[in-house]
Every structure is written in structure tokens, then in C-alpha cells.
Structure 1
Amino acid sequence: MTTSGAANAWFRIGGTVRDDAGFPVTAGVAVEVFDLRLGGEHPIGTAEVASDGTFVLTYDPEMVRSEPGASLDLVVRAVRTPARPGAQASVAGPAPQGEVIARSATRFDAGPVEQVDVVVPANAVPVIDEYSRLVTGIADALTGGGEAPVSPAGLVEDEKRRDVTFAASKLDV
């Protein structure tokens, strides 16, 4: 990624994908970002949705504009796709093949950094059972913060250490 000079400044679009009850949508969903123009939507790129429901796509705006300096009018679509753990965002690459399950309102005249959230109808995504949600949340919390990851087996709950109590409180479980 090049960031030298105004002509090579990259843009960033990020946001969240949540169901209409406010829970993050993570399983089997990706996002596609498009520039809306007369004549239709033109692809900018795709991004996987993280375990907390967030996505980020960084792109070169000049490569996707209809003409130099033209405005970007962004639309984010949530699409059903097979989950691919560890996949990265791609710019103007092939879009995930799948059914569009939700789309954002158009963000007209998008700037260098945009936050666009997408709300997916709850019946359009698989229901994640409570156990899976908790295990994923605990695993993410145990590997975050830049410290050495801790396995659940390494948690201690006794008079001196309250790791399980701390983790449960931190994860709001």
C-alpha cells in the first residue's frame, strides 16, 4: 500500500454487520463495496466480517472512480458466503458469490475514511448457539491485547486469582 503524495492516498471504509436485534453477524457473511453511478453499481472490493461483526476495506480511490476526481457514492452489501477463516480483504477482486441479504444506504460523496453499518434481518443469517458465541468471544479475548495468548485451560479461579470471573465480567456473560 502506497501512501506517498495526495494522488496515492488510500481510502478506508469500515463498519459493522449486525442483525436487527443488534448482535454481530459473523458466520457465512462477507461484504461487497460498490461505487453507485448512473448505469449501476461498480465493484470496489470485498472484505470478510470479523468475529465481532466488523469489516475494513482499504482501497485506492483513483482506481475505482469513473473519471479522475469524480465523487464516490458508496454502497455496502452483506452477502451470504461460505465462511473462510483467516481470509483477507481484496480490492476490486472477484466478489463472493452469494445472495445479497442486506445493503446499506448510499453514502454520497464519500471521504477518505467512512463508517458504514449494515443491518441484516435476523432470519437471513444462521443462528449461532450461545455456546459457540461464548467460545468465540473467550478465544478472541484471550488472544487480544498484544500479550501472549492464554488458553482456557490456563485460567485460574482460586483465592489469589479470579481469571474466570474476570473473563466472564469482561465478556459480559
Structure 2
Amino acid sequence: MANIAAQRIKREFKEVIKSEEVAKCAIKVELLNDSYTELKGEIAGPPDTPYEGGNFILEIKVPETYPFNPPKVRFITKIWHPNISSVTGAICLDILKDQWAAAMTLRTVLLSLQALLSAAEPDDPQDAVVGDSIKKILKCPHANSDCDDKIKRLVDMGVEDHQARVALSSYNWDLERATEQLFS
């Protein structure tokens, strides 16, 4: 790893570990090897969101060109979020792409990812199926408890929560059609 990148990431790593602000937000980072090129991040689900109470593991790869290029970050923990791929964990967040600035830090990235969990952008999804599902959930023609009941019925039949949501939202929350699609 280039010397400037190694020095910078070591300093930022220590900043994250020692920061009271970061500790309050339940954000952690640890080394996966001694070269500071691969880190494991962890963020807690923000309060008052569907992610509250969850801990989400992140893979962080620091390029030799850091801080001039952003770290490569992806979710290891499976998550149902329109801006995070439910398959690969890839993240759609501007600061990890074209809005990255060398003044940003590892701490900025972790706090931004936690904020992303509070403010999904279904109109600019990484995972189009989840983005469409979220939009349909928000437009669910029935009370949310009705949607939850339909999801629970499918889960009780052995369908995973994510699959139930996708099937229901794909068929405009028609339980019979979603069930046919899942079991045909």
C-alpha cells in the first residue's frame, strides 16, 4: 500500500476506535490483516427505523490511491434496502463513487452508511426489486398491518421474509397471486 494511504488509514482507524461520537452511534471498525488494506466495519441499525436493533457487518477495502479514491465498501450482512444490493451487498451512495473528496474519512463513510439506513432512496436504487417493493409498500392500498399480515402468512408457509416481500410487491399485494408465483 502506498505510504500516504497507509499513514492516513492508520490515523483514521485510530480516530474511529477512540471517538466518543462514533461509540455513541454504535459504529466499529477492526483490522482483518496488518496492512490496513482490508477492514471489517460494523454499524448498528439507527433508532426508529426497521433496522433498529440490527448490527450490520461491512467489508472495507482500502485502495493504494486512498484518500484520493474512496474505499470499496459492501455489506456482508444481508439487508433489505433499496440502495444496497440484496445479492452482493454493493452500495449505491454518492460519496463512495463520484462525490468522494480526499477530505472525507473512514468515519465519514461509516456515519454516512448508517444515515443511509435512515433515509432510503427508492427512486435511485442499487437493488431495483427492493426499490420497487419499497415504493409499493409505501403505496400499499391497505393499512400497513394488512401488508405485514400477508408477509407473515407467507413466512409461516416457509417463504423467507425478503422473498415474501418481493413476491407480494410484484403482484400489487395480491396474496393469492404471490402465493401461486412462489409455489408454482
- Give the helix-richer structure, 1 or 2: 2
Whether these two folds match at TM > 0.5 is: no
- Give the strand-richer structure, 1 or 2: 1
Q: Quick one: higher RCO (CA 8 Å, sep 6+), 1 or 2? A: 1
